[in-house]
Amino acid sequence: MKRILLVVLLVAVMAFPSMASAAVRIGVAMPTQSLQRWNQDGANMKAQLEAAGYVVDLQYANNDVALQVSQLENMILNGADILVIASIDGASLGTVLAIAKDEGIPVIAYDRLIMATDAVSYYATFDNYMVGTIQGEYLVDKLELATRTDPVNIEIVGGSADDNNARFFYQGAYDAIAPYIESGIVVVPSGQIAFESVATMEWSSERAQARMDDLIAANYSDGTPLHAVLCSNDSTALGVTNSLVNAGFEEMPYITGQDCDIANTKNILAGLQSMSIFKDTRTLASNVVSMVEAIVNGEEPPINDTETYDNGVKIVPTFLSAPVFADINNYYELLIESGYYTEEQLGL
């Protein structure tokens, strides 16, 4: 029945495009409201989809996998024509998405690849390996690793092991600094280098802070210098920064991040964090709207990667956006002049 309705809908789109979009219902599933970036993603997605004339059902799942599954089931029952999903656990949605597939509902994975299912139709994200590469190359540049002869100490704080993106972030960053680890110019005093040993479940600031507390106590309490902490995102960077401040570090190491959260951008201005990857959620939302409109119009969505993102069952056609980094030198242009934040939000 759903397939018949979808066919009728597509015919209506072609005949009456101004009316068709209003009839299309988009289910948008976001993982949590506990991180600033997902609030922005959800708000931008809803605003742009509604501006394009679609009915939007936006739900947040509070990092509860069972709740996200239930929300998706309800979206399907309530007549969603397309699902846009930022998953909590990319491998946990196979059963509910099998229902979506049976109902003929296209699924767009949003910024987190949905794993182990053939029911995901497309993937919209930033170039996640490049995110890590930029972070790693930033440290290579700032620490002058290519020319220095004395070793530097670095620790690595990765993302959540149940988020497929975290491995791309980690690998891009690790590949950038690996030659210097192998040459001995970069030392990781804790010995914690493999992704499994540096991952931070739920991207939790509290967990990152607790782990950094342990690292400081075990490796740096005797005055051993810490030159950099390679953090995959801003919530982990925030935990690391809090730990270092509480431990009395007067000279902060270079700290990387991702998402340009307000608290972290303020830390950049205060000299507590060095940089953060800027992934403009307005751009990602716009790309998803373009994909939705193409699907509704019976066209092929914009895709620029058909090789990289293997979810274990299929290569998922992907539309990648390019990330950039913000630091003390360019934050104003990227974040204020672009309208992403106001001066008041950053306390300027």
At 123-176, the pLDDT tens digits run 999 999 999 999 999 999 999 999 999 999 999 999 999 898 999 999 999 999
Question: What letter would DSSP give residue 315?
Answer: B
CA distance 286 to 8: 26
pLDDT-derived band of residue 281, with 50, 70 and 90 as boundaries?
confident
For the chain, give every domain's residue range.
2-126+280-321, 128-278
Q: What's the whole-number average pLDDT of the chain?
A: 92
CA distance 50 to 289: 10
pLDDT of residue 2: 44
Which of 3.30.70.270, 3.30.565.10, 3.40.50.2300, 2.60.40.1120 is the CATH number of 2-126+280-321?
3.40.50.2300
pLDDT of residue 16: 35
pTM equals 0.84
Distance of CA 285 to the CA centre of its chain: 13
94-127 pLDDT, tens digit per residue, is: 999 999 999 999 999 999 999 999 999 999 999 9
pLDDT-derived band of residue 34, with 50, 70 and 90 as boundaries?
confident
290-348 pLDDT, tens digit per residue, is: 999 999 999 999 999 999 999 999 999 999 999 999 999 999 999 999 999 999 999 99
Contacts of 259 (CB under 8 A, 6+ apart): 35, 36, 37, 233, 234, 235, 276, 277, 279
Strand order in the sheet with 318-321: 55-60, 25-30, 82-85, 107-110, 122-126, 318-321
Q: Under a CB-based contact definition with an 8 Å cutoff, are residues 177 and 230 in contact?
A: yes
Nearest to 25 by CA among 205, 287, 273, 292: 292
pLDDT at 12 over 70: no
pLDDT of residue 127: 94
177-219 pLDDT, tens digit per residue, is: 999 999 999 999 999 999 999 999 999 999 999 999 999 999 9
CA distance 240 to 333: 27
CA distance 101 to 162: 23
Residues written for the chain: 348
Question: What letter would DSSP give residue 92?
Answer: S
pLDDT of residue 23: 83
pLDDT of residue 238: 98
Work out the average pLDDT over 17-33.
Answer: 76
What are the C-alpha distances in Å from 18 to residues 262, 285, 296?
38, 21, 12
Hey, how many other C-beta atoms are within 10 angstroms of the C-beta on 20? Answer: 19
CA distance 343 to 101: 45
* Tokens 């914009």 -> residue: 302
CATH architecture of 128-278: 3-Layer(aba) Sandwich (3.40)
Question: What letter would DSSP give residue 336?
Answer: I
Query: What are phi and psi for residue 29, nearest 5 degrees?
Result: -110, 115
Question: Would you state the structure tokens that stand for residue 249, as one six-digit string?
Answer: 């570090």
